[in-house]
Structure formats: C-alpha cells, structure tokens
Amino acid sequence: MSLKGAAYIAVAWEHPTRKAPDKSIALLHAECAKGALADAGLSKDDVDGYFCAGDAPGGLGPLSMVDYMNLKCRHVDSTDVGGSSYQVAVGHAMEAIAAGRCNIALITRSGRPRSEGQATGTAPRPGNPAAPEMQFEFPYGPATANLYGMCAARHMYEYGTTSEQLAWIKVAASHHAQYNEHAMLRNVVTVEDVVSSPIVSTPLHRLDCCVISDGGGALILTKPEIAKSLKRPLVKVIGVGESPKHQAGGEIDLTFTAARWSGPPAWEMAGIKPSDIKYASIYDSFTITVLMQLEDLGFCERGEAAGFIGARNTAPPSAGNKGGKLPLNTNGGGLSYMHSGMYGMYALQESVRQMRGIAPAQVPGAKISVCHGVGGMFAASGTVIFSNAA
C-alpha cells in the first residue's frame, strides 16, 4: 500500500531561541510542542501520537516526554537515527496515521550545544562502552569533523573535487542567509573567504563547517481531512524513504551515503524524478555533506556534484545571476542559519515554508520539494517529498 498523501503537515514550528542557557532540553521540547499546537489551533488533548529521537531526555524514551507534557497518546515512537531522525519520523507518523494508530502526530526536537559550550564537531564523540563499534573506532578518539574530513579527502582523491568547489556550497548558503533575519551568519562570503579560513580537519576549513546554536522545533502531521479542517496552507507528504548505510564488515566506500537507498523509494512513491524538483533542503553539517547527497539522490552523477555546484546551480538570484536550477537551503542551512545538532528538523521546516510560499528567500513557483537528512557519519538517511497541491 502506498503512503502517498496519507498525511499532511499541519504545522512546522520553530523555536525562536539560538541560545537557551536558562532552559532545559525537556522545556525546549515542551515549548516547541506548545507553539506548534497553538499555531495549528489544537490543544495537547488532540494529540494521540508522539514521536521523538535520542535528544528527548529521560530513561524511557518517549514515555518520559509524554508524561512531562501531559499527553494522552495511543501511539509513541522514539526511532533514533541521528540527524535524519525527523525525516524518518515523518514516514513513521504517516504509517501510524494510515494504520489508524493515531490521527494527530506530534514530533518534537530540541538541543542546546551552544549553551553547553560545544565546538564545531571537534570534541571526541561520546560513546556507549557496550556499543559494538567502540573497540574499532573510539580508541582513536574520532570527532565529527574528523570523520567528515575523511569523506571529503576521499572524494577529492576519487573525483578530483577541490576545496574551491566545496566552498561554493557555503557561498550559496550565505547568499540565502542574508535574507533571513534569524540566521546566525548573515554576511555574504566568497570562495576566498572559505578557503582562507582556518583548517579544522583536513581538508575542511572552519567555514566548511556548520554553525553551533541552541534551538528546537516541532511538526504536526494529521489525517488529510483534519488538515483540511484547520484552514492552514496545505502541505501534502507524497514520498518517504529511509535506510541505514551498511558497514560491510569494514570494507566501506566513504564517497557515498545511504541516500542511495532512501531516495529511490521516495521518488517512486511520489511518482516523480529529481529533475522535477524546484527546491531542496539538503542536510549541511559540512559542505561535503551536501555534495555527496546531491549525487546519491540522483541530482548529479557520482563525481559531478562539484561541477554542478560550481556552475552556480544551487545559487539564488541574489548571487548575481538568474538563479540556479536547484536552489537549496534557502534559510541559510546549517552552514549559515542555525544548527543545534540533528539538523533534519530544521530542513523539514524550511521545505514546508517553501511549499507555503512564506520562506524569506522564496523560490518562485516551487510546488514540489525534497527534504533529506543524514544521521551519523552518513550512517543513515531519510528522504521526504512534499507537495503544496491539495
């Protein structure tokens, strides 16, 4: 059974804070839920499905947050696949709604790495001593930037990708961010600015890395008839896909992501192809993250994304041309806008804004968008396709 159109986005609400030293993670989740419900004209008593990921505090996953927010739910889900958790949660909420397990699904996310003093992926990754990968990876003290740097270095080796080509991703993000009053970095940068910034983890420079912020957000998905009764601009979910990237016993190619497997079922469900897309929200923890996902989602052949980006195909009209073929991350993305970790939630929000025609850097005529998230070091992917057709 196809899930196409089984649920609509009623609300995509974003917490206004970028630094929250006075708020707990649980409180941020609750404030996101409250803001989303108020925006939709719903109450907490209307929610009968709750979805979260590993950022939700408490020893019992969603149960702790359901109790904290005093929700009365028939269905809960706490699937944690890193930054792609919220794309995956959209798919799982659709499944639950289609199966009659809930009618109104609430998804929340919050994080406060800025208040906790975390740097841009340079701290050693914490790990559970019982995790199976501990004995292989953690003795070497990997940090997130190190892991993505290895992927960038390998892509450069295999395909001749250059630092200047990666820099164009940041340049395009900065051109979009200048129109977003909520963006942390609104100054337009140049390729020279990026490649002249300090190296964080070879070959990634500081401006190849995302910003660090606090923040949070919430989505509400409902049955189609409920969404239409709320008198909100309609955003239909027409395609979803999810997949891990298997490690193959250590024989792993660092130049591709799990989007290779999460994208095709989403395209098939939606009944479209990448060339039909006029706007994309692509997870951008680092510049290399964007480049590899464009290839794996089918927008470019492998090894060709650097040239595609360098030709200004992701640039907005403000960059001095007529605008690219595929504007992406029009909020400025994780590279310029905000990134409280697990950026997939914020990518979804911007895709919804584009479909509703209210994005600060609105893409004219955008009727279908794709939103893609990545978890871990490309360990998992989630793909969601939206339409603003009723």
Residue 321's φ and ψ, nearest 5 degrees, are -140, -165
pLDDT of residue 376: 83
Residue 133, in any domain of the structure:
no
Report yes or no on 146 lying in a domain: no
Helix (H) and strand (E) counts in the chain:
13, 11
8 A C-beta contact, residue 56 and residue 315: no
Helix, strand, coil proportions of the chain in percent (round to 5)?
40, 20, 45
- Predicted local confidence at residue 365, as pLDDT: 87
Q: 153, 298 in Cβ contact below 8 A?
A: no
Asked, for residue 241, whether it belongs to a domain, the answer is yes
Helix (H, G, I), strand (E, B) or coil at 119: coil
What's the CA gap between 233 and 356, in Å, rounded?
Answer: 6
From first to last of its 390 residues, what are the pLDDT tens digits of the chain? 689 999 999 999 999 999 989 999 999 999 999 999 999 999 999 999 999 998 888 878 899 999 999 999 999 999 999 999 999 999 999 999 999 999 999 999 999 888 887 765 666 666 666 777 777 777 777 788 988 999 999 999 999 999 999 999 999 999 999 999 999 999 999 999 999 999 999 999 999 999 999 999 999 999 999 999 998 899 999 999 999 997 766 678 889 999 999 999 999 999 999 999 999 999 999 999 999 999 999 999 999 998 898 888 887 755 444 567 899 999 999 999 999 889 999 999 999 999 999 998 899 889 999 999 999 888 899 999 999 987
Residue 51 lies in a domain: yes
Alpha carbons 272 and 51: distance in angstroms, whole number: 28
Q: Per-residue DSSP letters for 126-154?
A: P--TTSTTHHHHGGG--BHHHHHHHHHHH
Say if 127 falls within a structural domain. no
> What domain range is 97 assigned to?
8-116+211-387
CATH of the domain at 235: 3.40.47.10
The pTM of the full predicted model, rounded to 2 decimals, is: 0.94
Residue 172 counted as domain residue: no
Distance CA 319, CA 277 (A): 20
Residues in the chain: 390
How many Å apart are CA 284 and CA 305, to the nearest integer?
A: 14
DSSP state of 224: H
Would 312 be classed as within a structural domain? yes
Write the CA distances from 61 to 13, 50, 64, 67, 102, integer angstroms: 22, 11, 6, 11, 19
Task: Give the start-end residues of each E strand in the chain.
Answer: 8-14, 49-51, 75-77, 104-111, 199-201, 204-205, 215-222, 235-244, 279-282, 368-375, 380-387
In three-state secondary structure terms, 168 is helix
pLDDT at position 122: 60
pLDDT of amino acid 386 = 97
Task: Identify the pLDDT of residue 287.
Answer: 96
- 239 located within any domain: yes
Q: How many domains does the chain have?
A: 1
